[in-house]
Amino acid sequence: MWMPPICLVSEAAEFASRRHTGMARKGRGNEPYVNHLAEVANLLATVTGGRDAELVAAGWLHDTIEDTATTQEELAQKFSERVASLVAEVTDDMRLPKSARHQLQIVEAPGKSPDAKLIKIADKISNLRARIVPDPSQDERNDLAAYTIFAEKVVAGCRGVNAKLDAEFDEAVSAAKTAF
């Protein structure tokens, strides 16, 4: 189903917002989860010069299969097959333990499509930034340190698609390392 690019992005934002209603984000004082989705989509729009509405829509939707009852088929019908495929490509299997999901992200990162790699990097940037809080507790510092190591391993397999996004990630890592 084709729709004008601005409508596609707007529809994705609304859909993702509604599906994540009531969810809070780790870090940043339990801000609404939709802020994470907005940040990922905005990073993708910014580093690509706004030239790929389906990629930005997938950024808005990247956690819908993982975190809600949304299916890949539903996304394909409502948005496009490409959007649905990108979201599915970056979705973790939540039936697995966290350690297994993390290991799979590291191992599978180099084999992802270029656009899925961009979503992964934008997601890691947003997650790192959210963990950087003023006056962190020791637990928050430990979480940030562990997440930074994990994110660096995933992004190592995703680099080289977009120099601007790689630089944004490096800045986020630098800020994180200063915070712990």
- What CATH number corresponds to the domain at position 129? 1.10.3210.10
Q: How many domains does the chain have?
A: 1
The dihedral over CA atoms of 44, 49, 53, 55, expressed in degrees to the nearest 10, equals -30
Residue with tokens 């649905």: 84
pTM beyond 0.85, yes or no = yes
State pLDDT tens for residues 68-111.
Answer: 999 999 999 999 999 999 999 999 999 999 999 999 999 999 99
State pLDDT tens for residues 156-175.
Answer: 999 999 999 999 999 999 99
Domain extent, residue 98, equals: 5-179
Nearest to 83 by CA among 127, 115, 47: 115
Residues assigned a catalytic role: 66-67
**C-alpha span between 46 and 50 (Å, rounded):** 6
